Structure formats: C-alpha cells, structure tokens
Structure 1
C-alpha cells in the first residue's frame, strides 16, 4: 500500500510504501491521504504531523511478553530525538507511564494506529501477543487473553445461550462486553488502546477475569483549533476496492473555557468471498434419508438452487459513525465532559470460506454456497458524561454512561437439512398421514399408516434471524489522594444495570402440515400427576404468533444489576523504590433471566409423533400455542415460571510489590483475582447412567473465579532506545 501524507492545505508532503494484510482477507494495496491543521491562540502557522517514533519491546523466551508501541504525540522523554517515547496510560485509574505500571499492559497510541493503518479490532489484534480472537466476522468474535475465554456454539441466539465474557471491553469508562459479540469500535480519533492482561477484578469488576481492552478517545482541547482529514483508496486481491474518509474538528468555542470536538468516518471495505452457483439435492447419506427412508431419497423431493444469491465479493463491510464531545472548564479544579457516539457496522455475506459443499465436493478458495441472504447489521449509541474536580486535596471523579447496542442478523442454515432432526419439519415420512390404530398388549398406541404413501421431502431451504439489543447503564464515583504522597489511596463506588434482549427465530419448517407457534401463556405445575396447567404468561419482546416456517424461537431477557465498592492503597516502603499495593472490591449482583424458548415439536398435523392415542385422532390447536384451553401441545420452556433470579456477592482482591531496581528497571510480583458473572441452567437436564438419581444439575451457577500469580519486569536499555518487558504467570 502506498501512503501519501499531506499538510499545508493538503500539499503533498511525503510518500511511503507498505502493504496491508488482514487477518482473514487477502491483502489490500492502496493510497492514503492525510491532512492536519493546528492553530493555537496567537499562532496561525499550520504545522505538519511529527514523524512517528515507535519501537517494539519483546522477550521471545518469556511465557508472556508485553509490547509497547510508543507514538510521537505522547509525553516525550529526554535525550536524543530518536529514543523511545513515553506512553501515559490510566490502567490503574491514574495517569502514569506504562513502564511504571506493575501489570502486563500493551498500549497502541494514536500514532502507532496510524502507522500500522489499523482501524478495527480484527486489524490490530494480530499485533498483540497473548491476545487472540475466534469468531464469525466483524463484531462477532470471542476474545481470548492469555488463552482464557468463554466458549460459544455460534452467534445465533448467543445473547440467550452464551456465557458472559471474561474479557471486558471499555469505551473510555463505559463497559460494553456481551456474549460472543465483541464491541468492534472503529479506531477514529483515539488517544490510545490499552490492553490489560490478567485478572483486573479490583478496579474493573465483573467480566475482567482474563483482562480488559480499553478504547480511550481524544478529548476536546481548550486552547487550539484542530482540523484533520484523511482519505484512502485500496484494492483487495481477488476482491473489490475499498475507500475510507475520516474527519476531525476541534474548536475552542470559548478559549480556555469551552471546547467542542467532533469526528466522523465512513470506511467501506470491499468483499472477497464469492457465493458460487450451487444446487442443493438431498443425498442418500443425509441422516434423515438414512433413518427414515432406508437410504433412498424419496421421489420428487426436488432440489433448490442459489441462483438469486450468487455473486462475486459478496461480503462488503462498512463502518459509519460520528462522535461529538463537549468539555466545559468551570475553574482550575473542575470540568465537565459530555460525549455522544454513534456507529453503524454493516457486514454483508459471510467472512469465511467453505472447503467443501454439503456432500464433500471440493469448492474453490474464497468461496461458499449459500442459499439464503446473509448479513449482520450492528449499531450502537453511547452517551457518557464525566465530572472531574477536587474536594480539598482529594481528586474526585464521577462518570456515567448509557450504551445501547442493536444487532440484526440473518444467516443461511440450509445444510441443517442434512441432519437427523430436520426431517421432522421438512418431510412427510413414509406412511403419512398417520393415525391411531388401537393399542398393543402393553397399552401403547399403535401408529397407523396410510397405504401407498412413500413419503416426500419439501424444500431444504433454511435460515435463522437474530434480533438482539444490549443496554449498559453505569455510574462510578472515585476519590483519590495526591500521587506524590507516600501513602496513596483510591476509593470508589460502582453501579451497573446490564440487560440483553435476545430474539432468535429458526426458519427450517418447510412442511405445510404444521400450525404456527407462539409464546406460552401457561406452565406445567411441577410434581403434579396428572399434570396441572396453570396460567403464567412469559415476559417477551415479541408476543405475536410466529409465521409459518418458524420452527423454533428464543425470546429471552437476561442480565444483572450490580453494586460494588472498591479501594486500593499504595505504600512506598522506600520512596520511589519499593512500593506495596493492596486492593479489594466487594460486589453484589442481582442476576435474572426471563422469557421462553419454544419449538414446534408436537404441532404437526397427523404427524409421525402427533397422531393421537388409542383410536382417537389428535390435531394440534391452530395456532399451536400453550394456553389453559389448549394445554401444552408444543415443546416449550417458560423461564418466568422458573423464577430465575439470584443474588451473588463476594470480594475480589489483589496484592502487589513493585521494586524500581533502577530508574530504568522495574520488577514486580502480583497476586490478583478476577471473576465473571454467574447464570442459569435454563434447560431441563436429564441425568442417566450411574449418576441418575444421585446428581441433580443446579438451576443456577455461581460466578467463575480466577487467581493469578505473576512475576514481571519492565526495563529500558541503551539510553532509552530499547525496551525489554516480560512476565511469568500462573
């Protein structure tokens, strides 16, 4: 990729060459232009961007290494102009050099992000040792730090079924992690990105069990006008071109009193995955054909093709967003900051390739065969506010935020038709329609069959849709002593209300012999015989009966309300040389889960399993909804009736000893704890084998706990031209 930097009203300034590689896509090559105008009061000359000074410090032999990328806009160190620059971070809720923070931390500054030409999580994660991600596309990843993460089976319904993450994501002071879907914040006008490795339960609480990723935005400047515009064009090997534009404007409306900063961006990335022509034909090896048709595909079970879905480079990706910040300085001690962010991520198609089709025919590279539209539309708004000031000698901070994230996704699911269970919803088994033909000697109803009925399978077309809303409301108050005291303290209180609203619908019911399903209005009273049906409507976002073809749905609300108090104390045993740190966090977390998941098993008309009893035919109600009058015709799970509410509380702590052997060499030993929220086993588990009657799966599971033991070091050599940082942990 060729880079062109432009200053002085976009006058050409210089040219560099480099090539950009994505983690999954082929490489892109292109041209980038940037312009920057900075004006200070009394100074009108336009200044070009300073040259980037960056270094990578790593210990390849250590089990863990910290890499520091130092940018030219951070506080400079003394000495030669090409020495490493000092990076200031706030990982411990106070500003300090990254080399003085006694934890493993990586920091990507604004200059480093620009130099690497990275803007998204998938762009920069490949530069981070000990940080990886596994997922299905942008904003659909599960983040691993030090190999720790929670597992997910797929993005469909992950808000309802996935475990809470153990890697926290923060936009400034607002947490935004959700199961299986990383908050993919576009790196526009960021001061830096901090990656904190290891448990951070004391200062960052629930979800920071394995670590924290923090996006720190640039704040308004009260003393200068700044304008910055950058644009790029890139080509993608085997794909479509990409374009982007980003603009930043900082204006001191009232110099030294009130300033406004705005950034807007539009990044359109060309696709590279081709949806090639395909025909889905049922095969003798399909499980439904093997189990119910004797390995012979039923006649006239016509195939489907994907003629209306084929295309080249079908996975374009677009990030659009805007962020505005207002800063008001009341006096030398107090200021107030308000921030409003909006981002829309639009990912079409899919971001993987298929090696084979459903019957093991080899497919070309960078190709798939999809039969239904696939896309992921992910947008969020975040409103945040921060009040900074002093109460006597104490530094006081109050920060609050409200994050609202909305996801709409659809994915092709046609290969599900080759499994065992799809046949019930897509085929008439041989002998259909069925009827009760009396009882056998054991009193079991005999399944009667229709003579001459050889069976038939309808369209294998299938897809799922997911509508998810995540809301985070948080408030935090912190008080801290001056940083130059020998005994330093930080105390604070935290409140968060975190809710997930998940609605997932699986459309694989192509047989016309079903009645539609809907949310249940009753539940079966446990322990009653015969079963008693009691009214109990569920809490749902969509109370409507689902359309025909919707064979299964989740409609779940889950989350927690958390209260916490925390404290941390530093004591200089030997000033500026040996420091002992201790901290703890007490939390109380009220966790809930409500709603339902409903399937259409039991809703087939004269089906293989739904034909009646004795000699009395049975027909499911239309619609096939569980009510007092209908009973429970379909398989349902009424979560409201299970009263899935639980309060967990506890304390997580840390202890640290830091030794500045010399001003350039720091070593530390840390003991720390982390945790992530607990949840509920909402499904009814059936235990068989030796444990039957001995073990009963609990309704709820408590928060996970993690204890970390770590020995680390941070060193600078050759007159600040080389950093070697590392850590050994268990």
Structure 2
C-alpha cells in the first residue's frame, strides 16, 4: 500500500498554472495565449509583468473542471501543500516551509499562526490548523504568491499567500449562471452540487451580484466494528506516577468497549451551503464603493482519517465525529482618486463559529495520568488486600467550541503607475479574538472516582462521586459548575488575542526603460495574549459523610487549575520590576480555591518543578520573559524589507531578482515556565517557553518570465534559497503530560528549490502544459533542549517532496455546431516524511501493544534515540518518522458546449490511488488521510 496523499499532493511547483490556463484556448486558428491579470502587488498587472513568482487559477478553469472545495483547488495550484485531517481542518504550506501538523484539540487557541496567509479578496482569513474552507463559487481567480510577501501583506505571509478573488458586480449588464453536478465514488456514496449566480444592474451606477450554492460530498470511508480493551503494559509505561499501575494489581478487572453503535458505511460526508451578496456603487467617475457579505456553513460528519492497519478506506472510531463550521464575512472597499493619487480603503469583519466532536479514545494509549481517570485502584495508599482495581468504560471524546472574530482595516495610496517613480504607502490594523472551550469527556471518571471513594474510605463512604462539572443529583437548586457537560473531566477555556498595527511602503524606480528597481518595507507592532484556564475535575463527593471532599451541594474544580492569565500577569510583573523574588516564590494557583474546596492551594509553577525552579530558569536565561509587559501581553516590533530588480530583456523575456523577508506572530504557552514532569535524561531541567517567538524567513530568488514564439509558449522559472530562523513548531509531548501541547522554537532551517511551469499552445486546438518543483530542505540547527525529541540536525523538513510535477493536455474540436474538448492531467507528488518529532518507532510499538498488529506504515530512521521511555523490547526507540510514499493520479474529462449550455463527463483519480499521508499530531498511534477513490461524474451549466 502506498502512503502518500491527496491531502497534500500539491506540487510545490507545479500543478496549477498549467491547469489554470488550459481552458483559455478553444478552437481559433490563432494559437496565442491570453493575458491573465493579477493583483499580486495590490495593483492590476499582467501576470507576466509581475517580477515575483505568481501562479493564477482562473474562474473559467475552475468551473470547467469542477473545482469547488479547498482540497480540490489546492490540488491544482503550484508550490502548495495542503495538510490536515478533514474539510475545515487544514493547513497550507508553500515551498516546503512546513513544520509539525497542528493538533485540532488545541490549535484554535494554542496553535501557531499560519506561515501562509489566506485571503478572500482584500481580507485575511487565515487560522492555524483550521484555515477557512471557502467554497470556490463564482471566483474570478485564485492567486498563489510564493515566497515571503510580508511587506505588502503582513503577518503570516511568511512563506507566501493564497488569494481568492471573487467576481464583482458588473454595471449595466444582466448576467446569470446555473451549474449542477453529480458523481459517484468507487466503493462510496454519491455526491451532488448546485450553484447559481445572478448579476443585476440597478440604474447606470449601481449593480448587485448574488451567489448561492449547496454541495454535498458523499463519503467513502467506513467505520468498522471493533472492540477496545486498554493495554496494561502501555498504560504502565506511560504513567508518570499517579494512579494504580497494572503491575501492582494483577487481578485488575478491565472493561472493554464496543463501537457497534457507531458502525457505518461511507460515514465521512461533507456539505457546503452558503451565499454571497455584493453591491457596487459607482459614486462618480473617480470613486466607487463595494460592500460584500459572504456566509457559509460547512457540515462534516464522520472521520476522514483511516487506521492503516485495517486496510483501505476503514476507520475504527468509538465516538461519533462531526465538524460544523459557520462563517460570516462582511467587507467594504472604497476606491478613488484625488490629485493624481489612487486611494483604496479595505475593511472587513469576520465572525466564525466552530463546533466539533472527535473520538479521543486513543488517549488511553498515551495519557500519563490515564489510570487516575480510568480505574478505581487506591491511588494514594500502597496496594493492600482491600484495594480493588477496576477499570471502567474507556470511551473518550473531545468537543471543541471556538469563535473567531477578526476586524481589519487598510488604507493605502499609490501614485500613477505609468510614472517613472512610483510609490505605494499604507497603514494596516487588525484585531483578532479567538475564544475556545475544549472539553475532554471521559466515560469512566465518575464510576472510577465513586468506586475509589468506597475502597479508600471503606464502609463509611456510602455516597457516590460525580465530576466537578456535573449536576449533583437530589440537591435542589444546584446547577452545573462551569460551562461544561456531565462527562467533562477537564477543559480548556481560553481567549487568544492578536493586535497588529503596521505601516508599509514601496518605491519603484525605472532606472532605464527596461530596468526597474523596487524597495519595500513594513514596520509592525504586534501584541499577543493568551488568557483563561485549564480546569481539572478531580471529583466532587456529595452526601456529607466519609472523609474529605466537598460539602453537600458544592463542587469546585479550580484547585488544580492552570491559569495562563495569572501566569503571564506574574511573569510580566516580574519582568517589569513589579514583583520581588520573595513575592514570586509565594505565587499560588487559584489561592481562593483552598477555602472553597478544602486543603491547600498549589504553587503557580508546580508540575515537574516549583516556583523556585522557574525563578532559577529565568535568572539563568533558560526562560525568556523579556517580551512580556506588565499586563501579561507579549509585545514585539520590527521592520522587514524587500528589494527587487527586474530587467525586461526584450518584449518576450523578463529577468528578476528578489530579496524578501517574512514573519508571523509570536504565541504564548498556557504552561509557561513549567518544568517537565519527567525530570530524567534529556528532559532534566527542561522548562516550557513562556513565548514561542516570531520565526523569521529570509528569501533570495532569481527568476525568468517569458512569452516565446509569438506568444504560443509561456515559460516561467525561479530558483530560490530560503533561511528560517527560530522555526516555530507545535509539540505534543505525552511523556511530559503536565504540559501536553505547547509551542517552541525548534531551531533553524533552510529550503532551496527550483520552480518551473509552462504552457504551450501547440495549435489553435491543442494545448500542452506542465509544471515541476525541485526541493531540498534541511534543519540546520536544533534547540539543545530538543535533542532526542526533535529529529536531528541535517534532517529534511516534513511534508516536503524533493520532486513533484504534472503534465496536462487539452484538445478542442468542433462538432454538432458546438465546441467539444477532451483533457487529461497526470499529477505526481513525491515522497515525504511526516512531522518534526522523531516518535514514529515509539508510536508503532504502542500500536502493536495496544492492538496486537503492525500499523503497516513505513518508518524512516533519522539516527539516534527518541525520548526516555523504552519500547516493549526494553530498548529506547530510535529517532524516526513515518514515510509518505509517492503518489500519481490521472484525471480525464470530455466536454461539450453549445450556445449557453455546457456539459462534461469526467473521471478523477482513474487508478484509485490511495495517496496516504500519515497524521501524528495529537495522536498516540498513527492514522492516515487518503485521496478520494476513483470518481465518475457529470456536470451541466447554463449561462444567460
């Protein structure tokens, strides 16, 4: 079986320009290629005149090929890798600048900001781990700008950006279109879509354009019958000392669970429903205003990940899975001209709501505290004859409720583009707030705590236990404590804010008629903050008898909570001289909880260390808090620059060179300053960074753009070298479960590559196009604290194939008073590796112990060892990563157009290539994403 992927077979070079332009040649005798206009430099220009690497996928192309969703249009865009779990849970990488895939359990509030910015028209809609999955309806084009675009586009345009440009209202012209389609996937369910557009003029200077769509994508992955029994050896080796070890309780009664209620064929469905309304007003000859509102609901049922040990197209989940993702985006664009200056204002407000549920039963295979919640053995006393250990229902689920609000404003002015000196200048402001409530729901905990209470206190304890967030039965007037559900054992309740103010400018000067020098800069000020708490439910006994516990009718879960708000306030106060050493040593976590709950409050920086250890780390420079102000906000400011020279050799060839820089925001860690729970070997003295700082990217690039042989051959190429300093990654660390997922700067990296794309109008009827990407990546420095956790220095970056490419052919011909066409596309995506943490052998061993079989995924040995926990053979596992094997796909289509009607029959993925990509983020055993198998379909369209 092959282990590559549809989720990311994006040719870092290829795939798209060729495809994007194919439909532009129909059947005229003159075989010249048509001009494509892009706005990559925030001004309308011919694609071939823009001295940067830009690829464009036109709206006509997308419609004729049925490209509608995120994974479909990324498939045919060059230099782009799309990695993720399912629709609405994807990340974008360009030119190999990939790190660790984000875990959806924390990416909303705790994940890294994206390294590639996603725009809808003028508005950034990027989101770490969950890029907005916008349905591609009535788009003018999609542009991909490879390489840093930070001077004009700002944060997260670190490695490039992707811009989705919508069709705008057209004055004085009535237009409309309806498209419908249906398809059938081999071994899966049917799919269907319908969308419509109407453009209506109102008078001479006002027009409205409305778009609506519904697209249901049938599933092909089946959730198969399975039984799960927690593995004693797995649980014992991952435990960090809390809860009963199975080896101490040889007669442990372990409950199994069946997923019979969740067995379903073709359960991974996705439905896109939405609309867009735009109103444009030509106020005068010089001024216009455009208001647009886009609304979409993405409803995903089931899992898009498979268990590779079960064979093709199969998963074994024990909980239903879903992802409901709604967004509303309202934008205002005003364009005008005063005294020879072009003025543009672009403002937007995005409101996004996510509600998802995923199976988390696999946490039994890696959680360091799992027996505490799963089993009832005597936790605090030595094993004895009365200490019975029973392990209850192991089912677990994670529910994520996230809201994301983003307000942006940009004002820019530019001079006449025909002048020898050209200036663009602007100011940009954004305010982003993300609120996340993530609930970890354990079916076992209530029973385990109740049974433990009886065993621990004996006959005197006749009252049961409930979770701290559950309603207490029989107690009048008692409601849930906190916003969580009755199965919630602990939850993350976070608010993450990012505020940016930036000033940018660009000066272009025509040194001669054929040589232009351009200089750009961006001065930015960024403020980021993480607030809220992780609340742990350690049980609340009710009834008023027995030893310890809460009084009748009261529960409080905050005694063991972790509050980033308090942590960063304290760290900021100490950094700014408002807190003495003695005061720092006396910091407590939720000091008021002691009176409410009983017992003593805990030190703020407890865990593997204490307040004294964290203070020592600050003094020794191992914990950097210099960017945190007195309010607990991380502040950073810098200026990045861009310099380019382009030379128009003649009317057919342009050469250019670029130096550019990019950045993305820093991020605060919820467990800032905490020492590792495992204080042995490579983890000794390790402290969680307070802030994962901005990783900066510097790029040098040389390129050529050419239109040869009377504009029948378009050939573009670029060669680039990129250096990334302080590469920011998300780290999932079950060996140190006290801080689980957090962010840090792993080290430095380099990427080097060559991009080539071409299109050849061989005749007025035959068009051949193609693209290729050659890529070499390397980690050049590793943070000393990550030795033995990260892959070693010299390793390649994840999700970075050394070669990818495609070839496309289209032939047009006249028949039956209409135009017909046949096209074919062969796309190749090379081998790559998954992740930047070297845990593959350890995860494979866990899978073998837990399920009794091999996951069937190839492993690449990076050299050295990983972590400190031994595998089942008693050896420390090798530092290794999972392999994603190469994948080749073939799509074919036959279409016909006459008058206002079009029809096409198509077959995608003719050979049903699996294209697996292994997913490891936030997991203890490997899962894989895969391509949709062979799909046969029909498309019809009518324009008026």
Question: How would you bin the TM-score normalised by the shorter chain?
Answer: 0.7 to 0.9
From 297, 316, 319, the equivalent of 1:344 is 297
The alpha carbon displacement at 1:65 in A equals 9.5
Q: Describe how 1:576-615 pairs up with structure 2 within 5 A.
A: 577-600=514-537, 602-603=538-539
1:125 aligns with 2:74: yes
Match of 2:843 in 1: none
From 619, 631, 638, the equivalent of 2:549 is 619
Change (3 A) 1:290 1:598: closer
Q: Describe how 1:174-193 pairs up with structure 2 within 5 A.
A: 174-193=123-142
From 330, 333, 336, the equivalent of 1:389 is 336
Match of 1:669 in 2: 657
Match of 1:714 in 2: 705
Q: Describe how 1:336-375 pairs up with structure 2 within 5 A.
A: 336-356=289-309, 363-375=310-322
Match of 1:31 in 2: none
Alpha-carbon distance in 1 for matches of 2:481, 2:40: 45
Match of 1:441 in 2: none
Structure 1 residues 203-212 or 416-425, which shifts more? 416-425
From 109, 112, 119, the equivalent of 1:160 is 109
1:686 aligns with 2:669: no
Bigger RCO (CA 8 Å, 6+ sep): 2
The alpha carbon displacement at 1:153 in A equals 4.2
1:223–1:252 Cα contact (<8 Å) kept:
yes
Q: Describe how 1:486-497 pairs up with structure 2 within 5 A.
A: 486-497=420-431
The alpha carbon displacement at 1:72 in A equals 9.0
From 224, 232, 238, the equivalent of 2:187 is 238
Of Structure 1 and Structure 2, the greater helix share is in: 2
Change (3 A) 1:415 1:155: same
Structure 1 residues 374-383 or 115-124, which shifts more? 115-124
From 153, 169, 175, the equivalent of 1:204 is 153
1:250–1:262 Cα contact (<8 Å) kept:
yes
Q: Secondary structure, in 3 states, of the residue corresponding to 1:594?
A: strand
Match of 1:326 in 2: 279
Structure 1 residues 679-688 or 397-406, which shifts more? 679-688
RMSD after superposition = 3.4
Alpha-carbon distance in 1 for matches of 2:73, 2:5: 9
Change (3 A) 1:80 1:663: farther
Match of 1:610 in 2: none
The alpha carbon displacement at 1:599 in A equals 2.4
1:67 aligns with 2:17: yes
Alpha-carbon distance in 2 for matches of 1:232, 1:376: 24
Alpha-carbon distance in 1 for matches of 2:697, 2:535: 36
Change (3 A) 1:67 1:326: same
From 696, 700, 725, the equivalent of 1:705 is 696
Change (3 A) 1:508 1:695: closer
Change (3 A) 1:632 1:665: farther
1:378-416 CA distance string (max 9 Å, x none): 110000011111112111111100011111100011122
Per the normalisation by structure 2, the TM-score is 0.62
Match of 1:464 in 2: 398
The alpha carbon displacement at 1:712 in A equals 0.7
Structure 1 residues 132-141 or 210-219, which shifts more? 132-141
1:23–1:123 Cα contact (<8 Å) kept:
no
Match of 1:112 in 2: 61
Alpha-carbon distance in 1 for matches of 2:261, 2:282: 58
The alpha carbon displacement at 1:650 in A equals 1.1
Structure 1 residues 282-291 or 706-715, which shifts more? 282-291
Unaligned runs of 5+ in 2: 240-244, 450-464, 471-479, 560-591, 607-627, 722-944
Match of 1:280 in 2: 228
Q: Secondary structure, in 3 states, of the residue corresponding to 2:308?
A: coil
The alpha carbon displacement at 1:700 in A equals 2.6
Change (3 A) 1:67 1:316: same
Match of 1:23 in 2: 6
Aligned residues: 621
Alpha-carbon distance in 2 for matches of 1:502, 1:344: 19
Match of 2:781 in 1: none
From 347, 362, 377, the equivalent of 1:415 is 362
Alpha-carbon distance in 1 for matches of 2:138, 2:16: 24
1:420-457 CA distance string (max 9 Å, x none): 5321101012xx375xxxxxxxxxxxx35553333101
Alpha-carbon distance in 1 for matches of 2:302, 2:438: 19
Q: Secondary structure, in 3 states, of the residue corresponding to 1:574?
A: coil
Change (3 A) 1:154 1:218: same
Change (3 A) 1:23 1:548: same
Alpha-carbon distance in 1 for matches of 2:629, 2:504: 36
Q: Describe how 1:499-578 pairs up with structure 2 within 5 A.
A: 499-508=433-442, 510-512=444-446, 513=449, 515-517=466-468, 544=482, 546-575=484-513, 577-578=514-515
Match of 2:386 in 1: 452
The alpha carbon displacement at 1:494 in A equals 0.7
Match of 2:867 in 1: none
1:349–1:373 Cα contact (<8 Å) kept:
yes
From 614, 633, 637, the equivalent of 1:645 is 633
1:288–1:421 Cα contact (<8 Å) kept:
no
The alpha carbon displacement at 1:690 in A equals 9.8
Structure 1 residues 189-198 or 696-705, which shifts more? 696-705
Change (3 A) 1:130 1:691: same
The alpha carbon displacement at 1:282 in A equals 3.4
Match of 2:937 in 1: none
The alpha carbon displacement at 1:286 in A equals 3.9
2:442–2:489 Cα contact (<8 Å) kept:
yes
Change (3 A) 1:704 1:327: same
The alpha carbon displacement at 1:548 in A equals 4.0
2:116–2:162 Cα contact (<8 Å) kept:
yes
Change (3 A) 1:274 1:642: farther
